[in-house]
Every structure is written in C-alpha cells, then in structure tokens.
Amino acid sequence: MSRPVTLFTGQWADLPFEEVCKLAAQWGYDGLEIACSGDHFEVDRALAEDDYVQNKLDQLAGHGLKVWTISNHLVGQAVCDDPIDERHKNIIPSRIWGDGDAEGVRQRAAAEMADTARAAAKLGVNTVVGFTGSKTWKYVAMFPPVSQEVIDDGYADFARRWNPILDVFDEVGVRFAHEVHPSEIAYDYWTTKKTLAAVDNREAFGLNWDPSHFIWQDLDPVGFILDFADRIYHVDCKDTKKRFDGRNGRLGSHLAWADPRRGWDFVSTGHGDVPWEESFRALNSIGYNGPISVEWEDAGMDRLRGAEEAISFIRAHLFDKPEGAFDAAFSTKD
C-alpha cells in the first residue's frame, strides 16, 4: 500500500506555482495537493482555457510530481457562512465577492464549488478538499439561549445549499472531502454525524482527516478514523501542541498564533501531540491508500524547514502492514 506523500500548497500561495513545484520536488514529495489560490489553480481559467489544465500537468511532470487532489477551502467557506463580512472579502476572489451582498456571495461561491468539481475532473483528480461554511457556528457558546429549531435550520440550510453542488460532483465522478474544523458545519464527532445525516449520507460527501483540529478539542483522532472509515477520502497531516496550564484557555483568548499565552498552537508535523503512529496504523486498518498530504502551519517555525522536515517524519511513520501474520513463521506445516 504505497501511498503518495504530497504538499498542500495553501500556505504557499504567495509563491508562484513553479517555485512551489521546485521546492516540493527538491524535498522529495511525490506530488501536490493544489490549492485554488494564487496562480496555483484557477477554476475559472481551468474551464475557460483549452490549454490551462495541460500546462499545469506539464509543470508538475517537469518536476517529477503528480496531483491526486485539489482544495478550495476559501470559497467553500462562503457557501453557508452567516454572517458574510470583510473576513470573506479578504480570502475569496473578487469575482465571487462581487458587490458584497451576502446572499449573492453565497450563491456565487456555491456555483464556484460546482465548477471546482468540473475543473477537478478535467485535471484528472477525483477528490476536492474544502470547507462548507456554517450558519450555526456563531451559536457555539449557546448563549443567549438557542433553540433546537435554530440549530436544525442551520443543518437544513447546509443540505439545501450543498446538495445541488454534490449533484455536480456525482455527475463528473468527483468526491468532496470536508475538513472537520471549528467554524464549519461539522467541527467535531457528533456534528460530523449530524452533517452526514443532513445529506442522507450520500457518497459524494466525505471527510478530510486533519488531526490538528481534534487535539485541542480533546477528541480522539484515531477513533475518528475507525468510526468514519468509509468516509475518510483524504488525509492532511498537521500537528497541534497543547499548553493548558490553568491560565491558557482552549478557545485561544483572541491571542495571535505563537503567543505563549495561548492554550494551543498549530505546529509543524511531528512537533505536537498528535499520536501519529497510532493514526497511521488506523489508516492501514481501514485500507486507506490515498495521498498523505503535509499541511504546514507553524507560526514559530520557518516553513522551508517545516515542510522539508515533515516529509522525513511522515515517511518514517508511513509503514505498510505485513503481507502475512507474524506468527505464521511459527507453523511447522510445509
């Protein structure tokens, strides 16, 4: 079960795609999880220009790289979010923002996610990773009191907006892998269950397993793999370090990343509290054979070091199951 190790380009979108290809090849990555950001992958151009996709594939091949997955987290966030505000204007293309009218932004974002599926199929990949946004996240503290009807309406809103998008994913033979993440419709174990049920557990909608978001919530990333075995469509490797000392809070206290007063921080793969060996054993047990993608996020470590170091760490832990039982050698039979 030789699984490719890729580099997610979202945190490298300030660099030209060609430069990211060079770096990834130099470090020994097998390919890229290409973000729909910067000049890395532009959905509108992929569909409008005859040679755009082939040029991307040629660029990758020129560095000995491949692509199995593209990601469109930023636009996906705007599909269900309420409110839509300056935060979204800062991360989505201006053509999606338009005049900033909230419902117009949501509808244009939904159309772009459908087009992302079409662009992925044209590129020859079968998985799009991303966010969904959420109408309910603003109620996470449940105060002032929130009725169950309001929460249920949030999940109904998600299903109403995403089912037509997923219809396009089905049409073109591509799957969506939602990254379970605070601020999304599915951010922990039980909200993931509720989210899958909201779209009738349709196969087009699966999960991107990123353990960094589980660790600071005190969720079990290994158990999550086992319980959602048939829905793990993609794997992102990012780490989290906890520092809960009675003063540093779980919610971050609105402190900047790497502030020592924070209760936790994202750190480069292998430098945090994720149980990586147990996690890879669990991925082996469910038969996951897709990409293992390194997502670098560490406000305290230079990304050039973090990305290079992470691939060595991952390869050291990315062992396959044995072909036979270890005790088979004890047999006296011919």
157-203 tens-digit pLDDT: 999 999 999 999 999 999 999 999 999 999 999 999 999 999 999 99
pLDDT for 322 equals 77
Indicate the average pLDDT of the chain.
96
Per-residue tokens: 49: 């220009």
Burial pattern 272-310, b for ≥16 Cβ within 10 A else e, equals: bbbebeebbebbbeeebebbbbbbbbbeebebeebbbbb
Domains of the chain in start order, with CATH, are 72-205 (3.20.20.150)
Q: What is the mean pLDDT of residues 142-169?
A: 98
Model confidence at 327, pLDDT cuts 50, 70, 90, reads low
pLDDT for 328 equals 62
pLDDT for 320 equals 79
93-116 tens-digit pLDDT: 999 999 999 999 999 999 999 999
Task: Return the higher-pLDDT residue of 151 and 334.
Answer: 151
32-89 tens-digit pLDDT: 999 999 999 999 999 999 999 999 999 999 999 999 999 999 999 999 999 999 999 9
pLDDT for 302 equals 96
Task: Return the higher-pLDDT residue of 327 and 28.
Answer: 28
What's the one-letter identity of residue 125?
Answer: V
285-312 tens-digit pLDDT: 999 999 999 999 999 999 999 999 999 9
Please report which helix (H) or strand (E) contains residue 43, including its range: helix 43-48
SS3 assignment, position 252: helix
Contact by Cβ (8 Å): 65, 9: no
pLDDT for 89 equals 98
Model confidence at 1, pLDDT cuts 50, 70, 90, reads very low
pLDDT for 314 equals 96
Contact by Cβ (8 Å): 294, 259: no
pTM over 0.85: yes
Q: What is the mean pLDDT of residues 204-222?
A: 98
Burial pattern 72-86, b for ≥16 Cβ within 10 A else e, equals: bbbbbbbbbbbebee
